[in-house]
Amino acid sequence: MTMQQAGQLVCVGTGMRMAGQLTPISKSYIESFDVVIAAVPNIFTRQWLQEIAKQYVCLNDHYQDTKIDGKTRRDTYRRMADTILAEVRAGKRVCAAFYGHPGIFACISHMAIADARKEGFEAHMEPGISALDCLVADLGIDPGTRGMQSMEATQFMIYQRVIDPTAMFIVWQIGIAGDLTMKRFDTEQAHLQIITDKLANTYSLDHEVILYEAATHPLEQVRAEKIRLRDVPQAELKQFTTLVIPAEQDLKVDQQVMDQLKALERDRAIGYTSP
C-alpha cells in the first residue's frame, strides 16, 4: 500500500462564463489552497483567479512550446501536468483550474491526477459546467429526446466510426479538424471539405447544422449559426467552435423488442389476475 504524501491535488472547472458558473466547492478550493495553477483562455477569468488565489501560476505560456521544432501539443500538455505535479511534490495543496469542466477535453487534469495518485498523493476532480452543458441550455436541446453522439472532429475523420442519423451528433473542435501535426490551432478549407464529405455519407448536404460557441463573459453573445452542411468548408471557425448536427432521420421501432416487452406485460397482467 502506498503511503499518503503531504501534497494534495484537486482539479476544478471555472465554467465557461467566468466566475458565474463556478460551483461553491470549487471556489472554496481556489480560495483556500496554497497555490492555484490555471489553464484558462479568458483574460478576465485569469485576473479574477489571480486576485482571489493565495499564489497563482499561469500555464498558458506553455502553448508556445508548439513553435519549437519537434514539439507538439502533446508535449505541451505533458509539461503542464509536470508543472502541476512539481508543486504537489513540494508538499503544497494544489488547485489546478481549467475552463469548463476539468475532465472534458482536458487531458492535463487526467494525467496530473493519475501521476499524483501513483506517487501516493491525494488527488481528485470536481465537476464543472462544460461547453456541453451550455450548449444544451443555449440551443434548447434535450439529449434524452432523441439521444446524442459526441466525437472529436479529427478522431471522427481518421477512424471508421458509425453515426446514428436518428440522434443528435456533436462534433467537437471542428476549428482544428484534420490536424495530424498536433501543432496547429486552426484548420483549412481542404480539411473541412474532407470531414464534410465524410459526413455526407450519412447526411444530405442540404441538412441544416449549427455552429455553436458558448459565451465566455456577460457581454459576449452565444453563437448559434445555422448553415447547410455543404457550407461548412467555407464557414468562419474558431478553435473552440462546435458543430452540432441535429437528427435527420426518424426513429424506427425495433418491432422484435417491442413484441418481447409487450409479451412480458401480458404475462405480468395474467399473473396479477390469476386466482
- pLDDT range class, residue 117, cuts 50, 70, 90: very high
Lowest-confidence pick of 63-72, 104-113, 155-164: 63-72
CA distances (Å), origin 121, targets 91, 148, 151, 234, 247: 9, 36, 32, 48, 45
In tens, the pLDDT along 83-96 reads: 999 999 999 999 99
Give CA torsion, residues 30, 32, 36, 38, to 10 deg. 0
Average pLDDT over residues 256-260: 96
Lowest-confidence pick of 35-44, 60-69, 113-122: 60-69
Q: Which of the following is catalytic: 29, 46, 93, 99? A: 99
> Is 63 annotated as catalytic?
no
CA distance 55 to 45: 15
Could you tell me if 126 and 30 are in contact, meaning their C-beta atoms sit under 8 angstroms apart? no
> What was the pLDDT predicted at 94?
98
> What was the pLDDT predicted at 60?
85
Q: Which of 129, 124, 89, 109 is nearest to 39 (CA)?
A: 109
Q: Which of the following is catalytic: 73, 93, 203, 212? A: 73
Q: Which of the following is catalytic: 29, 77, 203, 212? A: 77
> What was the pLDDT predicted at 272?
64
CA distance 40 to 56: 12
> Is 77 annotated as catalytic?
yes
> What was the pLDDT predicted at 227?
98
Could you tell me if 135 and 141 are in contact, meaning their C-beta atoms sit under 8 angstroms apart? yes
CA distance 60 to 253: 50
CA distance 99 to 158: 27
- Residue 103 amino acid letter: G
Query: Contacts for 182-190 with beta carbons within 8 Å, 24 or more apart?
Result: 182/66, 182/72, 182/73, 182/74, 183/66, 183/71, 183/72, 183/73, 185/66, 185/239, 186/237, 186/239, 187/237, 189/233, 189/234
Lowest-confidence pick of 87-96, 173-182, 226-235: 173-182
Which helix (H) or strand (E) covers residue 152, if one does?
strand 148-152
- pLDDT range class, residue 274, cuts 50, 70, 90: low
In tens, the pLDDT along 201-228 reads: 999 999 999 999 999 877 789 999 999 9
> What was the pLDDT predicted at 49?
92
Average pLDDT over residues 173-188: 86
pLDDT over 60 at 3, yes or no: no
pLDDT over 70 at 128, yes or no: yes
- Go through the domains of the chain in sequence order and give each one's CATH number: 8-129 (3.40.1010.10), 132-245 (3.30.950.10)
Strand partners, 227: 209
- Mean pLDDT for all residues in the chain: 91
CA distance 207 to 8: 49
Average pLDDT over residues 103-126: 95
pLDDT over 80 at 70, yes or no: no
